Amino acid sequence: MEIKRAKSEEKPAAAGTEIIESLYAKRIEIYPRSQIGDSLGWFQRWRWVLVWLTQLFFYGMPWVNWNGRQALLFDLVARKFYLFGLVLWPQDIIFLTGLLIVSALSLFLFTAVGGRLWCGYACPQTVYTEIFMWIERHIEGDRARRMALDRQPWSARKVAIKGAKHAAWVAVALWTGFTFVGFFTPIRALGAEVASLGTGPWETFWILFYGFATYGNAGWLREQVCKYMCPYARFQSAMFDRDTLIVTYDERRGEPRGKGSKTSDRQARGLGDCVDCGLCVQVCPTGIDIRNGLQYECIGCAACIDACDFVMEKAGLPLGLIRYATTNSLRNNFGGQQILRRVFRPRVLIYSSILGTIVLALAIALVLRVPLKVDVIRDRGALAREVSDDSGRTLVENVYRLQVMNTSERREVFQIKADGIADLELASNATFDVAPASTVSIPLRLRAPAGLDAGSHRIYIEVRAQGDDGVHVREKTTFLGLRP
Ligand code: SF4
Ligand code: SF4
């Protein structure tokens, strides 16, 4: 029996031929054409604006100081998150949870309205790939030169060019890893440690790991991360409907495609507006042809829109052959007003109202948040005991321990009060102070008349900041009497 290796372009094999189909498809290198100068369109300008904004935030934020410390710092060792004037403790995990829910819902909302806006404009994979391609273009040259260089046999010149590119990529990747770790450990101290080669094992690991991931994902894997690794690409279609804005080729206007200059009478030749220049495919970072319809590989970067508009302008044809459009608008020839009206559909309104409610609830909770946390722990070793005071009265005493957390950024003096049963008095210090963003453990002795019935009595312990009535916490606990 004849055994053949299958190739997609081969004709069907004859009967009796065993076909061996490889499950591994070799990657075809993509050389996206750069859009620079005149061909840099509106959407690509916006993409660069977002690259700048996100990267200014990422690389710059760890260096911003606030109150003499890093403004944004997730201090995992001390288990405190600093966000400008806000200090969040592990007990404030609800805010982090809320933030994650808001991020997920925002993603649903923006995807339902504008498709893969996140992927195309703000996803770190897209942004770093863009940066790495910019470096590549400046070292190796544009598309044609890169393709020619890759076809050439290895030479000293090729090694030098490739070496320079990889050195630049590695430098950016390591700086990215360093910056990433700088969100978790004070970046200035980290910088000094790196300069003296004295970073700890975890810091070293994460700088190298994050740097390696950036280098590998943005330099080598690129579109493969979006196509094969990103889970979001898989489930996003569940968030699309016929009124979601997607990057679309207007087939009715473009087909039948055919080459021709702007002076040609395309209508007379029965041609549509697509001049079949292939530019939309050449600029696509995932290497697809949008004229084949919506494909899951499309990350919604709109590079093909700008490329096609550039061609249309040169050919003297109306812009927008490839454009953001909804399936309904293409089918029913909707205008801008009709598309806009359909943005406010039930799915979008539901996402928006849930999102708005959660954001409002989080904002209110943050504003009302008291920068003080108190835990009352009963002393299990000495439940209740009889004691005499200075005047010889016999009293019953209960011992507690207060864990007091000052989550503000200033030293506070606190006062303790207790009530709930008659003649309850404090036998330990009533005032104490706590350093900024710290916890103290305070012993507390409460006394009541000896005639108090045996069993537990509900009492309240209040801790209040001196000079700030808004900062107080009232905790419930029990007091044990001894009289049989
Ligand atoms: S088809 Fe267009 S929008 Fe989609 S990834 Fe390619 S260039 Fe970007
Ligand atoms: S860029 Fe526009 S005109 Fe050129 S092939 Fe693509 S759709 Fe056709």
Half-sphere exposure in the Cβ direction for 332 (13 Å, CA): 12
The pLDDT of residue 356 is 96
**What is the Å distance from ligand 1's center to 211 Cα?**
27
Q: Is the CB of 396 under 6 A from ligand 2?
A: no
> Measured between alpha carbons, how far is 28 from 52 in angstroms, rounded to an integer?
30
Which pLDDT belongs to residue 176? 97
Q: Which residues of 59-91 are buried (b: 16+ CB within 10 A; e: fewer)?
A: eebbeeeeeeebeebebeeeebbbeeebbbbee
Ligand showing the shortest atom-to-Cα distance for residue 226: 1
SS3 label, residue 252: helix
Q: How many Å apart are CA 402 and CA 386, to the nearest integer? A: 22
Ligand 1 atom nearest 305 alpha carbon: 2
What pLDDT, on a 0 to 100 scale, did the predictor assign at position 11?
55
Give CA torsion, residues 215, 219, 223, 227, to 10 deg: -30
Contact 418 CB / ligand 1 (< 6 Å): no
DSSP notation for 39-91 = G--HHHHHHHHHHHHHHHHHHHGGG-EETTEESEEEETTTTEEEETTEEE-GG
Radius of gyration of the CA atoms of the chain, in A: 33
Q: How far is the CA of 241 from the centre of ligand 1 (A)?
A: 19
How far is residue 451's CA from residue 457's CA, in Å, rounded to a whole number?
Answer: 13
Nearest CA to ligand 1 atom 6: 284
Sequence-ordered strand ranges (E) for 260-301: none
Residue for token pair 């005071």: 389
- Output the CA angle 479-481-484, nearest 5 degrees: 155
pLDDT tens for each residue of 144-181: 999 999 999 999 999 999 999 999 999 999 999 999 99
Instruction: For residue range 413-461, list pLDDT tens digits in order.
Output: 999 999 999 999 999 999 999 998 889 999 999 999 988 888 899 999 9
pLDDT confidence of residue 296 = 86
Q: How far is the CA of 308 from the centre of ligand 2 (A)?
A: 5
- With a pLDDT cut of 90, the percent of the chain lying above it is 67
Look at residue 3 in the predicted model and tell me its pLDDT. Answer: 46
The ranges of the chain with pLDDT < 50 are: 1-10
For the entire predicted model, the pTM comes to: 0.83
Q: Which atom of ligand 1 is nearest to the CA of 307?
A: 7
